[in-house]
Amino acid sequence: MKQLLQPKVQSCDSKEREFQDLAKWKMRIEARQAAILAEIDGIVKETETIRAQLKKLLLQQDQFKENHIRFDSKITCERPENPD
């Protein structure tokens, strides 16, 4: 009778080890997923900072262009006509 039960016990032990291995792999995968999500979150925050800086620079660029146009028009208006 013991001999009949032995293969089943070995099979159960094998399945238990397989289950434990799968549980370990699942934990590793979940840890990797958490690390990836944290990295993505950091990248998104960095991107938001860069976007804010870009927006600020673009506004400064627009202001510079407006100032340049005003300066050019002021010089043109103040330039004496042909002194000849």
pLDDT at 8 > cutoff 90: no
Residue 75 to residues 15, 67, 70: CA-CA distances in angstroms? 88, 12, 9
pTM above 0.75, yes or no: no
Domain that holds residue 37: 28-77
Concatenating the DSSP letter of every residue in 18-32 gives: HHHHHHHHHHHHHHH
Is residue 82 situated within a structural domain? no
pLDDT at 41 exceeding the cut of 90: yes
Confidence of residue 2 (pLDDT cuts 50, 70, 90): low
Please indicate, yes or no, if residue 33 is contained in any of the structural domains.
yes
In a domain, 7, yes or no: no
Mean pLDDT of the chain: 87
Quote the Cα angle for 9-14-16, to 5°: 95
Question: Looking at residue 34, what is its pLDDT?
Answer: 98
Task: Dump pLDDT digits (tens) for 63-78.
Answer: 999 999 988 888 877 6
How many domains does the chain fold into?
Answer: 1
CB atoms inside a 10 Å sphere around CB 76: 8
